[in-house]
Amino acid sequence: MNIAYSILSAAASVEAAATAEASSGPWKNVLDAVQTATSEAGSSADQGVIDRIQALPDAHAQLADPDYWGSVGIITVTGILVVFFILAILIFLFWLMGTVFQNVDKSKKAKAEAAKAAAAKAAPAPAPAAVEEVAEEDEDNDDEIMAVISAAIAAYAEEEGTSYTIRDVKRRDKRARSAWSLAGIGENTRPF
């Protein structure tokens, strides 16, 4: 409280010094004109609502004044209207952006479909090959599986001119790593 009092008293002394200097110097006519206009405005009957409310002696008198609540109401309603108006503008802008981007996507899809249709007309579709139904056999027949794998490797080796030997055939453990796990490992160990 003492700090506030000392600040106010210092401000008052600075204001008094400035007023004394202005009243004795070349600004005396300007200061007199401002003081005259201020005193006339204060004595005027058509004083502003805010000035009249601020002139009341205490807060209780201000709250009892009906003009106080009117000005508070106007400020509150204005604030709420501004907020909702800005919100409506933002909603409209986001709706507009969504509509524009949907139209752009539709045009891209239409162009892609037109290109596919043109490519389909240009190249005739090949005749489908006859599909033989293969009866499912026992998966426990490891000897047959090993023979098929050996024949495939032998056919591959004949093309290259090298020889390969199968030493062991094991079933793959399906719990080892999933595709997501392998993708994560590949992503985290990739060189920069």
Structural domain spans, the chain: 2-46
Q: Is 125 helix (H, G, I), strand (E, B) or coil?
A: coil
> Measured between alpha carbons, how far is 102 from 16 in angstroms, rounded to an integer?
69
Q: If you search the block for the tokens 């400035």, which residue do you land on?
A: 18
In the Cβ-directed half-sphere of 98, how many Cα atoms lie within 13 Å? 6
Contact 67, 51 (CB under 8 A): no
Q: pLDDT tens for residues 12-30? A: 565 655 565 555 665 566 5
Extract the residue ranges of the chain whose pLDDT is less than 70.
Answer: 1-56, 59-60, 62-63, 123-140, 172-175
pLDDT at 50: 67
DSSP at 22? H
d(CA 44, CA 90): 46
Is the pTM of the predicted complex or chain greater than 0.85?
no
pLDDT at 44: 47
Q: Give the helix ranges, DSSP H, for the chain.
A: 2-24, 28-43, 49-54, 59-64, 66-122, 142-160, 179-189
User: How far is the C-alpha of 122 from the C-alpha of 115, rounded, in Å?
Assistant: 11
What does the pLDDT read at residue 25? Answer: 60
Amino acid (one-letter) located at 64: A
